[in-house]
A and B are shown apart, each in its own frame.
Chain A
Amino acid sequence: MSPRVKAGATMVWLTVGYQPVSLFSLKRSDATSMAGRSNLVPTPYAIKMALLRVLLEREGYGRRDRWEAWLRPQFEWIRGLTVYVLPPERLVVNRNGYTLRYYDQVLDKQDKGRKTLPMQSGFVFREWVFLEGNLQICVGPSDRAEVLAGLFAEINYFGKRGCFFQFLPEAIRYTAEPSFVMGGEAGFMVQPWDDLGPSATFGRINPFSGEKAQVGRDRVIGTGLLPLRLRSTGAKYDVYERY
């Protein structure tokens, strides 16, 4: 912890670090088909969902008696965070195409009386990102930075399940200002930057509820400027380096 900033006393920013330990993939929020390009780094939406997941896994069961009363302020607190992401020093995007069997939701909706899940096989396209170096996430401002640090410590993947990240306890920092913000002076790569909308509710983003999330209201897609430079590219790969 920074000697000048005491977490918990005032509104502070928390910076945490992760070492990527597997390939990363997170389909871009503007993708409309199975052929999905990947975001280069986790977006605020993915990070907040990861925070929410560990919070629910840790405390949700014990709070089931007063579920609504407990969940609402927790969700709003996480929803209101501002998130900055500093990519690692080097990223390599691999574009892969392969065939697999996957859930056919169209067929499932057409025939609700089916007793088995309809599956289909087909060609899918995925981008997998190799992250070389550590990923840093700066969130805030918050008066619960230490609680946040505890949640971040329990996160072990972002994006697609299995995209593992190792939390780095020694990288925790509390600061009065964000430890990094992105300006456009050095150049940048553009990434869709999806986040929870200011009026999003847990019910709407919960895939198990009947409510539906709306893009533009519950999930807002902005423009992220990552401090990266495209070093080389080809049909099957992109190589980026951080400025």
Chain B
Amino acid sequence: MERVEGKVASGLAGVNVVLRFTDASVPSVPLQQWLSGVEPEPVWVSLQDGGGVRVMPVLPRATGYGALLQQVQAQVGLETAVSWLGRLYTVAGVEVDRCPLRVIQVPVESEASLPPTVGRALHGQCFRWLAAADPDLAVGLHGQESMPLTVTLIRAKSGEQWLRVGLLRSDLLAPLLWGMSGDLGGMITLAGVNCRLGRFVQLVEARRFEELMAVPVQRELQLRLFTPTSFKLDGYVQPFLLPELVFENLRRRWNGVAPAELAIGPVVWEGLTAAFELKTRALRMEGGSEIGASGWVRYCFPDEEQARLATILAHFAFFAGVGRKTAMGMGQARLM
């Protein structure tokens, strides 16, 4: 297909370059020099999502991606190979990323076991990365009532650990990766423990709000809560996952980040708790312990329209988390 220069729409979260290995002896340039002339100069971050070699030219602010995309299009036609991490590639394609909802993770190797209070340290580390790229953005996020970002540490039985970040806005990926890029493959300190970050960023999942609005309706929804989850109710903490608390919390968060035309109006939730296997756990924070429930819970929605809305919100929970302090590790959830 011939190239047609067009207006680049806003809402870009990023631009990924798909690389294809080549052993042809052709002239090559380092990937870092491939987009010469772009200001500010992007940093290149390797992405892993199981679909080939993807590298993202990262800018401190997402607003710069329109110009960068045009530069990428101009460069694609040139018969040049690029070298990246000691191998030679050709540029096989370009992906324009417009997903505001996203979960990314980075492997973390710690020199000692990380303390239970690491949630706050992870939160602080993410804000330092954001502030390194865009201080105003970091300050603005701190002041928000509903945080468009979730952070947690995922621990596998094998001992592997990942720093997992959920993002609810398309303009957050670029500054986060820009700040993080300097530490990838290097050492950081979390809660006083030295940790080495992996060299690659894993893209766990990315969706658009419109996609979630179109998911097939489920009358029964089973949520798994990976970390303690609770709600603030009349000044008290409620650790039981009542359906109206869960879905009203998700509805408010959805309306806080979704486009106005996709907002979900007030709902008098009439869902039933069909089954559960929950256990209260305390998550130690620096200010004291926070109680919450983890395990699984199954809801049933007899009303068709409520089932539709609840299904959308249950999918949204993977990105947004549920309940309180999701930016410090609580309320990490997934629809089973």
* Partner-B contacts on A (CB < 8 A): 82, 84-85, 181-190, 193, 222-233, 238
Contacts and interface: CB of A to CB of B under 8 A. Distances in A.
Return the 8 tightest CB-CB contacts between A and B, nearest first.
A182-B1, A223-B77, A189-B93, A183-B6, A187-B95, A187-B96, A233-B52, A184-B73
A41 B123 CA distance: 48
B18 A189 contact: yes
Given A184-B72, A187-B95, 16 more contacts: A82-B2, A84-B2, A181-B2, A184-B73, A185-B9, A185-B69, A188-B93, A188-B94, A190-B92, A190-B94, A229-B95, A230-B18, A230-B52, A230-B92, A233-B51, A238-B52
A184 B51 contact: no
A232 B8 contact: no
Specify which of B5, B69, B72, B93 lies most central, judged by the most chain A CB atoms within 10 Å of its CB: B93
Given A189-B18, A190-B76, A190-B91, A227 B1 contact: yes
A208 to B, nearest CB: 31
Contacts of B69: 184-185
Given A224-B1, A225-B3, A230-B51, A184 B92 contact: no
B4 interface: yes
Given A84-B2, A181-B4, A189 B9 contact: no
Interface in B59-79: 69-70, 72-73, 76-77
Contact of B1 (A187, A188, A230, A231): A188
B138 to A, nearest CB: 29
B95 A184 contact: no
Interface string B1-27: 111111111000000001000000000
Contact of B93 (A84, A193, A228, A232): A228
A46 B96 CA distance: 29
A226 B51 contact: no
Interface string B83-108: 00000001111111000000000000
B143 interface: no
Q: DSSP class of A's interface residues: helix, strand, loop or mixed?
A: strand
B65 to A, nearest CB: 11
A6 B11 CA distance: 40
A233 B48 CA distance: 12
A225 B18 CA distance: 13
B259 interface: no
A232 B1 contact: no
Contacts of A238: 52
A228 B18 CA distance: 12
B94 to A, nearest CB: 6
Contacts of B96: 184-187
B49 to A, nearest CB: 9
B3 A184 contact: yes
22 contacts: A82-B2, A84-B1, A84-B2, A85-B1, A182-B1, A182-B2, A183-B4, A184-B72, A185-B7, A185-B8, A188-B93, A189-B93, A190-B76, A222-B2, A223-B77, A224-B1, A225-B76, A226-B1, A230-B18, A230-B51, A230-B93, A233-B52
B51 A231 contact: yes
A208 B3 CA distance: 34
A228 B95 CA distance: 9
B257 to A, nearest CB: 23
Contacts of A82: 2
Contact of A193 (B2, B7, B90, B92): B2
Contact of B94 (A181, A184, A224, A231): A184
A37 to B, nearest CB: 9
Nearest to A186: B96
B50 interface: yes
A84 B70 CA distance: 21
A193 B77 CA distance: 10
Contacts of A233: 51-52
A137 B31 CA distance: 34
B1 A193 contact: yes
Contacts of B18: 189, 230
Contacts of B52: 230, 232-233, 238
Nearest to A189: B93
A186 B9 CA distance: 10
A226 B4 CA distance: 12
B280 to A, nearest CB: 41
Contacts of B77: 222-223
Nearest to B7: A185
B46 to A, nearest CB: 15
A188 B77 CA distance: 12
B162 to A, nearest CB: 21
A192 to B, nearest CB: 9
> Which of B1, B2, B90 has the most CB atoms of chain A within a 10 A radius of its CB?
B1
Given A181-B2, A222-B2, A232 B51 contact: yes
Contacts of A181: 1-2, 4
